Amino acid sequence: MPTTEKHVISALVQNQPGVLAHVAGMFSARGFNIDSLVAGRTEDPRLSRMTIVVVGDQRTLEQVRKQLAKVVEVVKVRDFQDVDFVERDLMLIRISACQDKRSEVVELVNLFRGRVVDVATESLLVELAGTESKLEAFIELVKPYGIQELARTGVIAVPRGRQRT
């Protein structure tokens, strides 16, 4: 039985209306599930970068790459499977934190190198960036306090720079 795992793919696309819908439609039409999809501008105003996380086996990944490359507005597809890369996910999370528990929550935030960005009477709004696993670990630790609201960006990724030797 083929093993399924998460794959991070980057697609450089023309920055024009309808491209995101076209790419998402391609995934849907072929029955590929998108775990995470983030689209944003690049240094070139004519191009946007889509970072797509898919879960599947090697065959599925190969099909995704081939189908993406066929989309007219896609300029370049890069699979991060055999490449060292840096990934980040950004999360805003509102945690219940009454006066007697607030210092405990702030200590956890500091341990995870997060920032408290808003303080209310009964809650703290925290900003945290890192790998998906780091964010998931933080969520598990603060669940006992109570999560009131949570929003995440999804994964963005860029290959590491090459070192000269």
Tell me the pTM: 0.82
d(CA 4, CA 111): 32
- The pLDDT of residue 164: 64
pLDDT digits (tens, 9 = 90+) for 98-157: 999 999 999 999 999 999 999 999 999 999 999 999 999 999 999 999 999 999 999 999
What is the set of domains in the chain, with CATH numbers?
Answer: 5-79 (3.30.70.260), 86-159 (3.30.70.1150)
- The pLDDT of residue 93: 98
Name the percent of the chain lying above pLDDT 90: 63
DSSP structural state of residue 121: S
d(CA 50, CA 71): 13
Q: Is the pLDDT of residue 28 over 90?
A: no
- The pLDDT of residue 112: 98
- Own/partner long-range contacts of 74-79 (Cβ < 8 Å, ≥24 apart): 74/11, 74/12, 74/13, 74/23, 75/12, 75/13, 75/14, 75/47, 76/11, 76/12, 77/9, 77/10, 77/11, 77/12, 78/9, 78/10, 78/11, 78/12, 78/159, 79/7, 79/8, 79/9
The residue to which tokens 């030797």 are assigned = 165
| Among 16, 107, 109, 13, residue whose Cα is nearest residue 68 | 13
- The pLDDT of residue 157: 92
Name the average pLDDT for the chain.
91
Q: Is the pLDDT of residue 1 over 60?
A: no
| pLDDT tier, 163 (very low <50, low <70, confident <90, very high otherwise) | low
Tokens of 81: 């499977």
pLDDT digits (tens, 9 = 90+) for 78-97: 888 888 999 999 999 999 99
